[in-house]
Amino acid sequence: MDFGHIREVKEIEIAQIDLRYAHTRIQRPERLCSLSGSIERFGQILPVIVLREGVNSFVLIDGYLRVNAVRRCLRDTVMAEIWECKKEEALVEVLARTHSRKWDLIEEAALIRELHDHSHLSQSKIASLLGRRQGWVSGRLALYHALSEDLLELIREGAISTWAATRVIAPIARAMPEHGKALSENLSKASLSTREMALLYRHYQKANRKQRENIVREPFLFLKALHAREEAAEAKSLKEGLEGKWLRECRVIAHMLRGLRKEVPTLFYSGQSNLERRLLLTAFEESQGQFVKLGKEIRRYDCDDHPGEPTSHHEPLSAGSPHAADQPNPQTLSKHDPTGPPGEVATETATRIPLRGASPHLPGGVQSLSG
């Protein structure tokens, strides 16, 4: 297409302008307020772009926010750059001006839809004119057609963001149409940030049916309750201090160890290869080494009379549980019989664990299990 069309800049009456493509723009109240203040102080700096259709008839191609700002300043005229060309040429050139403005995805999609559905340009032709891949064009069209008209209207009004519509509301609406509709209606009353929408969606994914209904019908109340719960947890953590954190993490470790013990009969069986066993035991020894270091650190400081010296009035930390049922069998792993019955439990001693028949050169540069 030839973009060398005539361009004239002059003042024209707003009443002479056809706002034909207003549906392709998103209203932004905060920007409108800021721009109105700027025009009041400094006047209109950048002209809008209009396409001449008659002697005193124009179609607004770009500058919908500026026209609204000028109206808000109670002015009847606007400075405009007048183009005389075909409408599809004007739309393509404005859309291609990515250096002068950042288009929202829905705004891009709406303009591409105008070129495709009303100007009857093929996707490949649009892509060629814009210097884009055809997949980019088809993706924008698919995005536009995937959203309902009600949802598109909420985006245009600035009630919800394109991100919230495409990443949160649309997936919910596809799975549960009534939930998508309820959430759209409630979000139109007040806006949520992207972070809040992402948080709401994560909880919706993990919630049961009743909880989901509460989330979509009372999203603001749900987020308020969630915030209150987080504040309460933070207050509790501050009150408990480092001691509370230590106790919680020790309980987590104990829970994980109980789970690992239950898995021993399944993992350490007679048909297991030496390679598999070495890998498992190497990981165990690395963890065991950290426990030994932790025990030494505690013994250094756990002394009322002589800080920094080992204690003598406490049981050794390596003694573990006083119950015989919780004590490991020192002979089980070092004398493990690979021909024994399946399900035999293999545990670990506190010292080095010899592996009968193990190669001195283990995979990954590991020379020994205790190295």
Q: Output the pLDDT for position 56.
A: 87
Per-residue model confidence (pLDDT) at position 339: 42
Q: What is the pLDDT of residue 6?
A: 60
Q: Which helix (H) or strand (E) holds 209?
A: helix 209-217
Q: What are phi and psi of 268, to 5 degrees?
A: -100, 90
Question: Rounded to whole angstroms, how far apart are CA atoms 108 and 114?
Answer: 10
- 136 Ramachandran zone, left/alpha/beta (phi>0; psi -120 to 50): alpha
Walk along the chain (371 residues) in steps of 10 and give the mean pLDDT of each run: 67 95 91 93 94 91 94 95 92 81 88 93 94 93 88 88 90 92 85 88 94 93 92 89 91 94 88 88 93 90 58 47 46 43 41 41 38 38
**Has this prediction a pTM greater than 0.75?**
no
Q: Which residues contact 5 (CB under 8 A, 6 or more apart)?
A: 83, 84, 85, 89, 90
What is the structure's pLDDT at 271? 80
The residue ranges of DSSP E strands in 176-280, in sequence order, are: none
Question: Quick one: tokens of 171?
Answer: 């997936």
- Give the pLDDT score at 113: 94
Query: What does residue 37 show for φ and ψ, rounded to 5 degrees?
Result: -65, -40
pLDDT on residue 280: 92
DSSP states of 72-110: HTT-SEEEEEEEES-HHHHHHHHHH-TTT----HHHHHH
